[in-house]
Amino acid sequence: MNSKILVSGVSGPIGAALLPSLKTSGWSVVRLVRGAATGDGQIAWDPAVPLAPQAVSGFDAVIHLAGESIFGRWTAAKKAKIRDSRVAGTSNLAQALAQAEKKPKVFVCGSAIGYYGDRGNEPLSEESGPGTGFLAEVCQEWEESTTPAVQADIRTAHLRTGIVLSSKGGALGAMLLPFKLGLGGRTGDGRQWMSWIHIHDMVGAIHHVLKNDLIQGPVNIVAPKPVTNEVFARTLASVLSRPAVFPMPAFAAKLVFGEMGEELLLGSQKVEPGKLISSGYPFRYRELRVSLEGLLRG
């Protein structure tokens, strides 16, 4: 296979695993990068500025994961960056792809299970409606901004991604230090659901979506067995051979992290990977303990 793929936003843990796997699978990879392009395998862009259709013409597939990190206190300026980097960037890319002379067959675009908002114990499928809150609003706009590509008959999939577990950083990396020091524990009452996915299955699911012509629209990128925050904390502490006796009260999460703490740390999303299961994706990591042991061993 000598197919060309354009990829954005892969400087973090997902990109560290995804890019080598694409090359191994035979894709010729070109990266969409902010700032100046430093080689043949890169195209420079500014997500806030319209993109020339000829710059993105001739690719067989496009994976778009770029967006400002959601971690950090959500000031008005931070929230504007989170929203604009996703909505404006996706809209400009989708419009350029729709107008390109040689359009891609598939456009795989990032999203998140934040789409569903805080839903308690409600099982959430791809057919579930959107929730409320800042992240839910951003995810709705993010997905809607692919409309030009959809209307141009480009198969478009929205990766509603859960908590990605990786040894290279991300959410798990942020949790490790307090837990290694024996200072970890549940957040709030610990009853909120955490829908997670191992980095191996995150990458595998992206390949699955690329190859499966019947998958389009929202796709929940989570493992089949979500856990409560309390179970997650106890399991992580156990794998690290540490206690988990220092809970973070809800008021402290709100005090320290503000709105981000309320939505990310205390919000509950019990998400089911319906489309991945029905289309035959073979999950390698279904159990949290096995996943954490594999990532943290040694």
Q: Quick one: how many helices (H) and strands (E) in the chain?
A: 10, 13
State the pLDDT at residue 250: 87
Q: What's the token pair of residue 198?
A: 């191992």
State the pLDDT at residue 268: 96
| Distance (Å, whole) CA 270 – CA 192 | 8
- The predicted model scores a pTM of 0.94
Chain-centre distance for alpha carbon 222:
10
| Distance (Å, whole) CA 226 – CA 229 | 10
**Which one-letter DSSP state was computed for residue 291?**
H
State the pLDDT at residue 214: 95
The pLDDT profile of the chain, 298 residues, written as one tens digit per residue, is 579 999 999 888 898 899 999 999 999 999 998 877 777 799 999 999 999 999 999 999 999 998 888 888 899 999 999 999 999 999 999 999 999 999 999 999 999 999 999 999 999 999 999 999 999 999 999 999 999 999 999 999 999 999 999 988 888 988 888 899 998 999 999 999 999 999 999 999 999 999 999 999 999 999 999 999 999 999 999 999 999 888 888 878 887 778 888 888 889 999 999 999 999 999 999 999 999 999 997 4
**Which one-letter DSSP state was computed for residue 251?**
H
Question: What kind of architecture, by CATH, is found in domain 4-162+196-222+272-283?
Answer: 3-Layer(aba) Sandwich (3.40)
Which residues share a beta bridge with 62? 6, 107
| Distance (Å, whole) CA 193 – CA 121 | 7
Q: Are strands 227-228 and 193-194 parallel, antiparallel or unpaired?
A: antiparallel
What are the boundaries of each domain within the chain?
4-162+196-222+272-283
State the pLDDT at residue 104: 98
Contacts of 53 (CB under 8 A, 6+ apart): 96, 97, 99, 100, 101
Report which secondary-structure segment, H or E, holds 92: helix 76-99
| Distance (Å, whole) CA 200 – CA 10 | 15
Contact 294, 284 (CB under 8 A): no
Contacts of 259 (CB under 8 A, 6+ apart): 74, 134
Contact 111, 156 (CB under 8 A): no
State the pLDDT at residue 171: 87
State the pLDDT at residue 264: 81
3-state secondary structure of 183: coil
Contact 32, 7 (CB under 8 A): yes
User: Which phi and psi (to 5°) does residue 213 adopt?
Assistant: -65, -15
